[in-house]
Amino acid sequence: LDRLRGRLSRSQNSVGQGLLGLLGAGDLDEDAWEEIEDTLIMADLGAAMTQRVVDTLREEIATRQVRTEAEVRDLLRQTLIDNLHPEYDRSLKALPNDGTPAVLLVVGVNGTGKTTTTGKLARVLVADGRAILLGAADTFRAAAADQLQTWAERVGAEVVRGKEGADPASVAFDAVARGVETGVDAVLVDTAGRLHTKTGLMDELGKVKRVVEKKTEVDEVLLVIDATTGQNGLMQARVFKDVVDITGVVLTKLDGTAKGGIVFQVQHELGVPVKLVGLGEGADDLAPFTPEAFVNALLG
Ligand code: GDP
């Protein structure tokens, strides 16, 4: 978590410092509140969430005697944490030990970091002593299967891949079938995220899920969102939500943005937790998401 704090703070300190500076400035006039709103909007909290946060702050400051810098800081921290659903269970569905592999589908628009996240997740699980199989069901992007294979070799996982242009669902099925046969603990399926049309995506991803379910239950559907794409990430979340039941979100590239505020909106919109964050391109750059650490990093 210290690592998360260090990485985030480099890019996000300015947001937090800006807010604390404004809030700590004594009696707040309308201009000051407007600036506070602007700061939250810039951090990608979106209009509705910004309004909620500002309303809470205004009310609390008016009705409670929040005066000192430390009190303001605590109020801001707590208000932000409260809007991140601290009650959510963010653990990945427990890996079964009855011999049937857990199945995780990794979904999202191309370029968001699906393949990288799948590799990093495999690394975490292998390091935890689990036997992992990777399914390269992103058969549309030529390099995706190679990339996943490289990850598999690097972390010590098996990989099942199809021919380029093969039906993603058949590759996913083969991967899960192989995982059941060899008795791995989990099969992580990297899917194609072609957002050509919503019905196209629905057909493709829906089929992947249906086909896998012929073999065994799907335990997690993790939606990967690139934090640097701001409001686009929210739009993607809406589309994927309509197509498949998302069980958790992975917010990637948080190391390169001050726009991590999208996390507030994505969780609110989907009603599911952000479970993991990507903090870089390396194998160890995947961390659990916790509202407290995130907000602490945001506020510097
Ligand atoms: P996919 O098309 O969704 O499978 O995306 P990739 O996994 O190929 O990732 C796209 C690019 O983003 C690659 O260059 C990755 O190294 C990079 N990437 C993925 N996750 C992160 C992250 O958390 N931080 C940073 N800085 N780069 C990332």
Give the nearest ligand 1 atom to 112 CA.
Answer: 3
- Is 191 annotated to bind a ligand? Reply is yes
What integer is the mean pLDDT of 196-203? 76
Quick one: pLDDT at residue 1? 45
Rounded to two decimals, the pTM is: 0.91
Average pLDDT for 157-184: 93
- Please report which confidence band the pLDDT of residue 78 belongs to, taking 50, 70 and 90 as the band edges: very high
Evaluate if residue 259 carries a pLDDT over 60: yes
pLDDT band (50, 70, 90) for residue 91: very high
Return mean pLDDT, the chain.
88
CB-defined site of ligand 1, < 6 Å: 108, 110-116, 144, 252-253, 255-256, 278-281, 285
Query: How confident is the model at residue 2, as a pLDDT?
Result: 54
Query: Mind listing the pLDDT tens digit for each residue in 271-299?
Result: 999 999 999 999 999 999 999 988 888 87
Contact 106, 194 (CB under 8 A): no
pLDDT at 6 over 70: no
